């Protein structure tokens, strides 16, 4: 819990602490792996030394703060932080940790690792900007063949095109996810596929789609369709709650989408969201195709 809060504060994100927020963090996230904690330490240590303009120096470590920042397990004096520092010393990244652990120095190999971690690098499998628009087109083609009308009624070519754009900051991210959320509001499920006794309103687009898939998709595909629509619902939740940084609903939705909180790289996060959206649309298309 302290790890997530410290990260948010370090990134200048205001978080209002509430009981529901703390419960959501505990339920949605686990501590980082030991290897991730080691990388977190190297990044924090390098940034601290460069900020103080003393990259060669031995400096004191404040265990309580650093334990929270890297996501190490308590107790502070003898728990995960000391284990991580000793592991880094064994790799030659930092100086040997004294018994009291008061001061530590970055070694040349540690600076090499810092450069690896902080140098921007492209993904080994880059996200294709055409993937999400194509997923919409393929789903529409299959849906129209089955039910005479496309599922997603395109109202703005500009918004669809924007789904292929990258994003560099929070404002870009808000715009892209906003356009994706708007596109999901263009979903039109035929009335005959949504029984009146279910009491689903026309504006409840994804709920209508869930009900329709329960009636039209083969039993073997229904669970996949439900999971796919749940992903789309979480994306809508992110869109609706993203201006509320400490919203428990936002944090839980990000966790279900496999996205870390707080967000550190909006470009990679946008790639992850549109990739999950494309996968969800492909799964729905597959379920509809299985009607054959």
Q: pTM of the prediction?
A: 0.65
**Neighbour tally for 52: CB within 10 Å:** 10
**Residues 84, 73: contact at Cβ < 8 Å?**
no
Question: Which CATH class for the 31-118 domain?
Answer: mainly alpha
Residue 125: pLDDT band with limits 50, 70, 90 = very low
Can you list the alpha helix ranges (DSSP code H) found in 29-156? 34-51, 63-70, 80-90, 108-118, 131-147
The 10s digit of each residue's pLDDT in 10-53 is 544 555 556 665 566 556 566 778 898 999 899 989 999 998 88
**Residues 74, 80: contact at Cβ < 8 Å?**
yes
Q: How far apart are the first and last CA of the chain?
A: 49
Please choose, from the candidates 207, 205, 209, the residue with its C-alpha nearest in 3D space to the C-alpha of residue 183: 205
The 10s digit of each residue's pLDDT in 80-108 is 888 899 999 999 999 987 665 568 899 99
Token code pair at residue 259: 């996205």
| Domain span(s) for CATH 1.10.10 in the chain | 31-118
Above pLDDT 70, what percent of the chain? 82
Interstrand relation of 58-60 and 103-105 (parallel, antiparallel or unpaired): antiparallel
Apex CA 195: angle with CA 192 and CA 196, to 5°? 110
The 10s digit of each residue's pLDDT in 178-236 is 999 999 999 999 888 888 878 888 889 999 999 989 888 888 888 999 999 999 999 99
The answer to whether residue 124 scores a pLDDT higher than 90 is no
């Amino acid at each position: 819990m302290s790890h997530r809060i410290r990260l948010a504060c370090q990134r200048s994100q205001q978080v209002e602490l509430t009981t529901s927020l703390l419960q959501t963090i505990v339920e949605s996230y686990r501590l980082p792996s030991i290897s991730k904690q080691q990388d977190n330490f190297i990044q924090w240590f390098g940034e601290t030394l460069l900020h103080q303009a003393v990259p060669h120096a031995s400096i004191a470590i404040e265990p309580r703060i650093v334990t929270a920042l890297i996501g190490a397990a308590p107790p502070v004096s003898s728990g995960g932080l000391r284990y991580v520092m000793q592991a880094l010393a064994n790799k030659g990244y930092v100086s040997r940790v004294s018994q009291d652990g008061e001061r530590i120095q970055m070694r040349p190999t540690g600076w090499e690792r810092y450069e690896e971690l902080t140098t921007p690098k492209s993904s080994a499998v880059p996200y294709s900007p055409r993937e999400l628009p194509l997923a919409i087109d393929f789903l529409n083609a299959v849906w129209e063949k089955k039910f005479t009308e496309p599922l997603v009624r395109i109202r703005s070519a500009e918004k669809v095109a924007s789904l292929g754009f990258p994003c560099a900051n929070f404002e870009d991210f808000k715009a892209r996810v906003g356009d994706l959320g708007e596109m999901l509001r263009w979903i039109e499920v035929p009335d005959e596929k949504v029984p009146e006794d279910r009491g689903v309103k026309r504006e409840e687009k994804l709920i209508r789609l869930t009900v329709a898939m329960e009636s039209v998709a083969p039993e073997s595909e229904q669970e996949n369709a439900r999971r796919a629509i749940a992903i789309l619902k979480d994306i809508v939740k992110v869109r609706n709650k993203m201006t509320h940084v400490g919203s428990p609903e936002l944090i839980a939705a990000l966790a279900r989408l496999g996205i870390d909180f707080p967000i550190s790289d909006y470009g990679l996060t946008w790639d992850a969201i549109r990739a999950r959206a494309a996968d969800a649309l492909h799964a729905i298309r597959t379920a509809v195709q299985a009607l054959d």
